[in-house]
Amino acid sequence: MSKHLNQRGAWVTIHRKSGTSVEGWLIGEIPQGLVITLDEDLSDIRLVSEYYSIGYNYDKKLSKLSFENSEHVYDELHTTNDAISYSMRRAISKIKFDRLHQFGHHSALLKRHIHDAKYERMYDDVSPRAELMGFLIAQADRVTALHREVYETFEDSGLTEILSEYGSKLTHLPAELTIPAYDLEFSSREDLISTLKLARDQSWSESKHRASLDAAEEMRTRLIVEATKECNQKSEEKLEKRDDSTPFSRWFGPSLRVLAGTGLATANAAVGVTAGLTAAIATIGATTVPTYVGVATSIYTGLIQVADGLEKIGRRK
């Protein structure tokens, strides 16, 4: 955890060993040095390394970077890390990483096929047959089957049990201080933070995730039955207007969300293997936090994304 957390947001003057100095608002500290912003919009960000002294001006503090309860946040992060470290280390050591590597290969192929299909066929109606074709073109059944393999790997290792127990603690910690910086390779900063905040209102659990996964896998059978019935009779009921404009787009987004969330979770499970080699992880808030807090938060965030996608795939309307 950054020793500068309680100074975050202060205007600083950093004196370099070269004899030069740089000024700005302190964002945080990562292993490579101090991170500052030169403007209030956080659009001009600099990394300063090899410095020898820092001067602080608290009268010129940037409030949106400040944590008034920084000592409490610091204690919460370390308390949570102490509580989950041993269990996380054991769970991750049991994961079958060959299955996770296979997911990476298959998911990349699926993403390409789904994106290609998006431009090959589009549907303007909302008939059961069009719904089925949209579902199949988005390959939502293969997406959910692939996620089940990964999820059961997490389940067998005991990882999902840990996340069910400590998920609420993770979501109530400052999101930007717990999500690893490398997660930006999978999703945008805004999406990662909003997903984690969503979990505060819609808590994740093993049983709810399982139920959503089962419902998503059952949807193909329902659609096949409806498409078959359509051959013999036309429905007199007007289908509800969906948020998406076509049956294909209804399945497209949720399928990709399941793949992205699973990818985020598997990548961080792999990071957990080397967690014992370092004491901290750099976060998107430009600070460092205890390793297992970052790993657990990221896997949890990935599963929340998956759960959201599964719910959309499995719902009746």
CA distance 109 to 8: 43
Concatenating the DSSP letter of every residue in 15-67 gives EETTS-EEEEEEEEEETTEEEEESSTTS-SEEEE-SEEEEEEEGGG--GGG--
Q: Going by C-beta distance under 8 Å and a sequence separation of 6 or more, which residues neighbour residue 77?
A: 1, 173, 177, 178, 289, 290, 293
Q: Is the confidence at residue 151, as pLDDT, over 70?
A: yes
What letter would DSSP give residue 239? Answer: P
Which pLDDT tens digit goes with each residue over 152-194? 999 999 999 999 999 999 998 988 889 999 899 888 999 999 9
Q: Which of 64-68, 126-130, 165-169 has the highest mean pLDDT?
A: 165-169
Strands (DSSP E) contained in the chain are: 11-16, 21-30, 33-37, 45-48, 51-57, 280-282, 288-290
Q: Cβ atoms within 10 A of the Cβ of 203, count? A: 12
Q: Which of 43-47, 246-250, 272-276 has the highest mean pLDDT?
A: 43-47
CA distance 55 to 34: 13
Average pLDDT over residues 253-278: 85
CB-CB contact of 76 with 170 (8 Å): no
CA distance 68 to 175: 16
Q: Is the confidence at residue 236, as pLDDT, over 50?
A: no
Q: Is the confidence at residue 233, as pLDDT, over 60?
A: no
CA distance 166 to 153: 19
CB-CB contact of 255 with 145 (8 Å): no
What letter would DSSP give residue 290? Answer: E
CA distance 190 to 155: 29
Q: Is the confidence at residue 216, as pLDDT, over 70?
A: yes
Residue 185: per-residue pLDDT? 87
- For residue 238, count CB atoms less than 10 angstroms from its CB and return exposed for 0-12, middle for 13-18, buried for 19 or more: exposed
Record the tokens describing residue 16, joined without a space: 């370099």
Residue ranges covered by each domain of the chain: 5-65, 70-314
pLDDT band of residue 135 (cuts 50, 70, 90) is confident
Global confidence as pTM: 0.84
CA distance 270 to 30: 21
Q: Which of 150, 153, 196 is nearest to 172 (CA)?
A: 196
Which pLDDT tens digit goes with each residue over 33-59? 899 999 999 889 999 988 889 999 999
Q: Which residues of 240-266 are buried (b: 16+ CB within 10 A; e: fewer)?
A: eeeebebbbbbbbbbbbbbbbbbbbbb
Q: Going by C-beta distance under 8 Å and a sequence separation of 6 or more, which residues neighbour residue 241?
A: none
pLDDT band of residue 79 (cuts 50, 70, 90) is very high
For residue 306, give Cα distances in angstroms to 3, 152, 230, 253, 302.
34, 14, 31, 11, 6
Kindly report the CATH number that applies to the domain delimited by 5-65.
2.30.30
Q: Is the confidence at residue 7, as pLDDT, over 50?
A: yes
CB-CB contact of 295 with 275 (8 Å): yes
pLDDT band of residue 258 (cuts 50, 70, 90) is very high
Write out the H or E segment, with its range, that includes residue 194: helix 189-201
Residue 234: per-residue pLDDT? 53
Q: Going by C-beta distance under 8 Å and a sequence separation of 6 or more, which residues neighbour residue 115?
A: none
